[in-house]
Amino acid sequence: MDLQLTHRHILITGGSKGIGLACAQGFLAEGARVTLVARNPQTLAQALSTLGGDAQRVATVAADLCDADAALAALDAAEARLGPVDVLVNSAGAARRTPPDELTPQAWHDAMQAKYFSYLHMIDPAIKRMAQRGQGVIVNVVGAGGKVASPIHLPGGAANAALMLVSAGLASAYGPRGVRVNAVNPGATLTERLREGLNAEARLQGITTDEALDRSRAKLPLGRLATPEEVANAVVFLASPKASYITGAILAMDGAVTPMVV
């Protein structure tokens, strides 16, 4: 299927690894141009090498998106290099998974900075520019923890829940101006972040990390964890004109581990 993404400019936050990098690979395969934004210049360089290093189609910007001014500067740099951003994919930031007895007020603040505000700082200027042009798409990679409370992911889950509301609300607010906004909620996915969650789960239950992984797999109706590429496939579709009437949607991708109708 031709997803009609050729030559479109895709900005991906958190694009240097994990789901963000898989999204970059998916968009490039569809003929798009991609800007990766992440904090670490070294991981960005590694991602650029992985993607082939084509300067005409791939750019990188190092920025800490917890800083609103840095996010705006990153957007400006991306558009100066590859033109107006047609699609924004937010996959940056991750709140630390922590057993409840280890939480502090600062941990809750840190989670909102790492996941919620890192997204909003890029969404705010990008969606306003898209609205001025009369077209654009935003896909927020959020997380299943925003719908189902996990004892080891309460601050991050709270940030995810807020992002789901923001995604639905902005879809309604900016739909009349040609901008679509959707969210994808991955469950357990084979990324580096998974290991941190398994370590926290192991501490909470007094088991080993490998035992925590086995228990996680055993709960999944599909019998396995998702790959970053599988999540990316959904993101790329939602970003494409083939999904032109899908907006305000919150797509669950937890492998039916939590069957629900809303």
Domain ranges of the chain: 9-253
Residue appearing with tokens 């963000």: 20
If DSSP codes are grouped into helix, strand and coil, which group holds residue 154?
Answer: helix
pLDDT at 261: 76
Q: Which amino acid belongs to residue 128?
A: K
Question: In this structure, how many other beta carbons lie within 10 angstroms of the beta carbon of residue 60?
Answer: 21
DSSP letters for 70-130 = HHHHHHHHHHHHH-S-SEEEE----PPP--GGG--HHHHHHHIIIIIIHHHHHHHHHHHHH
Per-residue pLDDT tens, the chain, 262 aa: give them.
899 999 999 999 999 999 999 999 999 999 999 999 999 999 999 999 999 978 899 999 999 999 999 999 999 999 999 999 999 999 997 778 888 899 999 999 999 999 999 999 999 999 999 999 999 999 999 998 899 888 888 999 999 999 999 999 999 999 999 999 999 999 887 777 767 677 777 787 888 877 877 777 778 888 888 899 999 999 999 999 999 999 999 999 998 888 877 6
Element (H or E) spanning 232, and its range? helix 228-239
pLDDT at 177: 98
**Residue from 22, 20, 18 nearest 193 by CA:** 18
Q: Which residues fall within 8 angstroms of residue 68, CB to CB, at 6 or more apart? A: 117, 121, 124
pLDDT at 150: 87
Q: What's the whole-model pTM score?
A: 0.91
pLDDT at 194: 67
**Residue from 247, 242, 120, 234 nearest 179 by CA:** 247
pLDDT at 238: 98
Architecture of domain 9-253: 3-Layer(aba) Sandwich (3.40)
CA distance 119 to 122: 6
pLDDT at 206: 85
Residue appearing with tokens 């951003």: 85
pLDDT at 151: 87
Residue appearing with tokens 């940056």: 92
pLDDT at 95: 78
